[in-house]
Amino acid sequence: MSTRKVSYFYDNEVGNHYYGPNHPMKPHRMRMTHDLVLNYGIYKKMQIFRPRKASELELTNFHSDDYINFLKLVTPDNMHDYSKQLVKFNVREDCPVFDGMYNFCQISSGGSIGCAVKVNSKESDVAINWAGGLHHAKKSEASGFCYTNDIVLSILELLKHHERVLYIDIDIHHGDGVEEAFYTTDRVMTVSFHKYGDYFPGTGDVKDIGADKGKYYSLNFPLKDGIDDESYQSIFRPIIRSVMDFYRPGAVVIQCGADSLTGDRLGCFNLTLRGHAQCIEFLKSFNVPLVVLGGGGYTIKNVARCWTYETSILVDSELKDELPYNDYLEYYGPEYRLHITPNNMENQNTKDYLEKLKIQLLENLRNLNHAPAAAHHDIPPDSFNYSDDEDDEDPDVRISEADRDKKVHHQGELSDSDEEDGRRNYSNGLEATSTSRRNQVSISAYDKERPSYNSRNNNNNNNNNNNNNNNNNNNSNNNNSHHHNEDADVDMDSG
């Protein structure tokens, strides 16, 4: 039986959001995941919380004031009044304006900040937010379906209590937004395993190692099409073991993008659920506080399978391969099984190629003489405390009949087929923007007391046809916070 204390953040409202017709990002996948978590009975082994919605003040700990203000104000009805800002902030095809967009950002970011608060307070050893992991968002720019970078916000919260935080990314796409934010600091190490080449976002070369105080604190393992479970673990385990030995993080954040699975609508890897989850299992063995976030994943029935299975790994629960009855059982036909099988695509990652890169990255790690230490400072207040929250989610509450009557159909969510456009820039290998200080965040600011916060709550490999329902459960209670002004171009300091 697991002795780890596990917290799980979920808001039923997140699945109501809809990016629009033909868009591959479907927040409904979080509802499907949660439904499997409930019906497998995994919820009995963890505490479930409804995340508080991130305030403007919290969001602007990383993002610029004008960008967050724009996200708050723009809607599909008034977007014609914001034509210049739409271009300036890159809110266009891949990142469209949709109903409830700001609310979606608040839920996603609030959950990831909440995970960090739980870990910081030692109330949890592991904290999960599958609605998080939106790793492409920049300081003043949406990118790759991501509007606010909940990961950066979560790491900033962790840095209040931990000298060093390790970020690991197993999404098929490079974690560029997180890497950029912490590129010049040694207090955060970023490690990304991703498809590289003519593929979004185009960043993440093995030669990208960080700069200034952050030199050698960014590790990138560029991969080719078709990597399988065995090959992936042959690089993941030795790299992460060495990182843990050299860097000795106080906490770890892992982004578990499920688009690295076999058969993903936008992906080109060949991992099974077991191969993907072995990364989680390996990290558990270090007994370091762990924040687990979602990310990409566009064959949504496999996303739900993956994150449910990984939740079970985190609570040491064995799941039957036969899926339990659930609200979306028909999506998983005709096999109605938890696990998926790899396809017969060629693995273009030869042993020689992987070994050469592994040696190069391990050599980079040896340039770290010792784990950096931050200067002593007073611990700033946590963003919020969930201990006495009367609105915490009851883990065994099922959707009521009244709420079922509020279900909404978004016709564009009825298909996962690759006849839809897919991630336009992801599939055409859009050239990446260079790492810039405008996208970085001040770490030195966390050596001073912060104000207390009070917020209320590419390549297609598979054709999948899913019938999706979207519940419309309104549980939100928003509270706007004041803006704070920060220099958008500040340099980072290790303290």
Which residues are the active-site residues? 136
CA dist., res. 152 & res. 99, Å (int):
24
Per this entry, what is the length of the chain?
Answer: 495
CA dist., res. 338 & res. 340, Å (int):
7
Residues in CB range of 205: below 8 A, 6 or more apart = 196, 220, 222
| 192: amino acid identity, one letter | S
Contact 128, 51 (CB under 8 A): no
34 is in an annotated binding site: no
CA dist., res. 311 & res. 272, Å (int):
15
CA dist., res. 144 & res. 350, Å (int):
29
CA dist., res. 116 & res. 383, Å (int):
9
Question: How many secondary structure helices (H) and strands (E) does the chain include?
Answer: 13, 8
Give the C-alpha distances (Å, rounded to integers) separating 281 from 259, 313, 360.
19, 7, 25
Give the C-alpha distances (Å, rounded to integers) separating 327 from 50, 122, 282, 401.
21, 35, 32, 13
Q: Whose CA is closest to 178, among 190, 166, 170?
A: 190
CA dist., res. 130 & res. 203, Å (int):
24
Give me the sign of the Cα torsion angle 421, 423, 428, 430.
Answer: positive
171 is in an annotated binding site: yes
DSSP 10-65: --GGGGG----TT-S--THHHHHHHHHHHHTTGGGGSEEEPPPPPPHHHHTTTS-H
426 is in an annotated binding site: no
DSSP 117-186: HHHHTTS-SEEEETT---TT-BTTB-BTTBSS-HHHHHHHHHTTT-S-EEEEE-SSS--HHHHHHTTT-S
229 is in an annotated binding site: no
CA dist., res. 200 & res. 144, Å (int):
8
Q: Exposed, middle or buried by CB within 10 Å (0-12, 13-18, 19+), for 257?
A: buried
94 is in an annotated binding site: yes
Annotated binding site: 94, 144, 171, 173, 259, 298
Annotated binding site for substrate: 94, 144, 298
Annotated binding site for a divalent metal cation: 171, 173, 259
